[in-house]
């Protein structure tokens, strides 16, 4: 199919972008990498009056380290995140997740801001942002607003973005060296959206886990923090007993949906498998 006719705008400044967003309101759609928007336009699932292409906004693809931490522009492509030495050093969780996002061709165009704004519940980057305690910076004619990733994802394809706002940057705070990260996902085929996935970070305290952050994706309407499993592991050695306790707690943390790709029971089982893989790997890394 071909998209319904739309006006096409390619602003070269944020001010001009905000003018267009004000002019079209709900009838204007931001275009970043186009990997999700263009298929929905072609299938006429969305029929905006105007498409506002932000690819010419200067500087929004930068990846840099500042006193705030690692700052990644919304237009940074998935491919750039995958190949960035700064991302590997300061946000290894994102580096580990990137090869799982679609296929290489998709990663050459898809952007960080697009993934976060889309808020697909099975996407990798929203879960990484929550696990990393990232801040999502959004801007509009009214100014700039920082939203904690934990508050940004509100449900299926639903975020805290308000009218006229766009994502401009993501700030990943500096982490102390004791923090380790682990990433796992299960999909039917490499490159598919996840049936279940886990973005994890733990703070190592001697031979024990000081603190843990387990953020699952593909098992809820938004990234799901498994607080029970985190508490079950905190302060313990990551041995078989702790692993079993975390697995039991995980059952209460999750309420996965069923769909044509998998039942709630399957997703619950997969989440348990991912949790034990991540914990075992993190325990091995420490030895």
Ligand X SMILES: Cc1cc2nc3c(=O)[nH]c(=O)nc-3n(C[C@H](O)[C@H](O)[C@H](O)COP(=O)(O)OP(=O)(O)OC[C@H]3O[C@@H](n4cnc5c(N)ncnc54)[C@H](O)[C@@H]3O)c2cc1C
Choice between 35 and 181, CB closer to ligand X: 35
Among 17, 36, 84, 181, binds ligand X (CB under 6 A): 36
- x/- mask, ligand X, residues 180-219, rule CB under 6 A, reads -------------x--------------------------
Cβ–Cβ under 8 Å, residues 74 and 171: no
Position 170 contacts ligand X (CB under 6 A): no
Q: Nearest 10 degrees: CA dihedral of 75, 53, 58, 161?
A: -60
Position 114 contacts ligand X (CB under 6 A): yes
Q: How far is the CB of 188 from ligand X (least distance, A)?
A: 11
Among 9, 11, 17, 33, binds ligand X (CB under 6 A): 33
Estimate the crossing angle of helix 264-286 against helix 240-253, to 10 degrees.
150
**DSSP alpha helices (H): ranges in 25-74?**
37-42
- x/- mask, ligand X, residues 42-71, rule CB under 6 A, reads ------------------------------
Handedness of CA 25, 150, 115, 72 (dihedral sign): positive
Q: Which stretch binds ligand X (CB under 6 A): 104-112, 140-148, 205-213, 239-247?
A: 104-112
Helix or strand or coil: residue 218? Answer: coil
Position 97 contacts ligand X (CB under 6 A): no
Cβ–Cβ under 8 Å, residues 133 and 171: no
Q: Which stretch binds ligand X (CB under 6 A): 114-122, 199-207, 224-232, 269-277?
A: 114-122
Q: Nearest 10 degrees: CA dihedral of 265, 266, 272, 275?
A: -140
Q: Which stretch binds ligand X (CB under 6 A): 110-118, 218-226, 257-265, 277-285?
A: 110-118
Among 14, 20, 21, 32, binds ligand X (CB under 6 A): 32
Distance between CA atoms of residues 235 and 2, nearest Å: 56
Cβ–Cβ under 8 Å, residues 199 and 130: yes
Distance between CA atoms of residues 241 and 58, nearest Å: 52
Q: Which residues of this chain interact with ligand X, rule CB under 6 A?
A: 29-37, 74, 101-102, 106, 109-111, 113-115, 117-118, 120, 123-125, 161, 166-167, 193
């Amino acid at each position: 199919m071909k998209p319904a006719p739309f006006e096409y705008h390619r602003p070269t400044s944020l001010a001009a972008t905000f003018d267009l967003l004000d002019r079209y309101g709900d009838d204007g759609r931001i275009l970043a990498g186009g990997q999700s928007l263009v298929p929905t336009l072609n299938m006429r699932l969305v029929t905006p009056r105007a498409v506002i292409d932000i690819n010419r906004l200067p500087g929004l693809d930068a990846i840099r380290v500042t006193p705030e931490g690692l700052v990644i522009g919304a237009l940074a492509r998935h491919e750039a995140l995958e190949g960035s030495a700064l991302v590997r050093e300061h946000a290894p969780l994102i580096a580990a997740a990137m090869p799982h996002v679609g296929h290489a061709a998709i990663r050459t165009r898809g952007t960080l801001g697009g993934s976060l704004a889309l808020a697909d519940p099975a996407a990798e980057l929203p879960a990484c942002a929550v696990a990393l305690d990232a801040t999502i910076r959004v801007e509009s004619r009214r100014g700039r607003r920082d939203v904690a990733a934990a508050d940004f994802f509100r449900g299926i394809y639903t975020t805290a973005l308000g009218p006229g706002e766009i994502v401009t940057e993501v700030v990943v705070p500096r982490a102390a060296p004791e923090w380790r990260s682990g990433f796992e996902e299960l999909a039917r085929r490499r490159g598919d959206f996840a049936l279940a996935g886990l973005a994890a970070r733990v703070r190592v305290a001697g031979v024990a886990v000081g603190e843990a952050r387990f953020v699952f994706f593909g098992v809820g309407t938004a990234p799901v923090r498994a607080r029970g499993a985190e508490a079950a592991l905190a302060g313990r050695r990551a041995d078989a007993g702790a692993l079993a306790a975390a697995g039991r707690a995980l059952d209460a943390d999750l309420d996965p949906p069923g769909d044509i790709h998998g039942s709630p029971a399957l997703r619950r089982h997969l989440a348990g498998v991912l949790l034990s893989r991540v914990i075992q790997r993190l325990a091995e890394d420490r030895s």
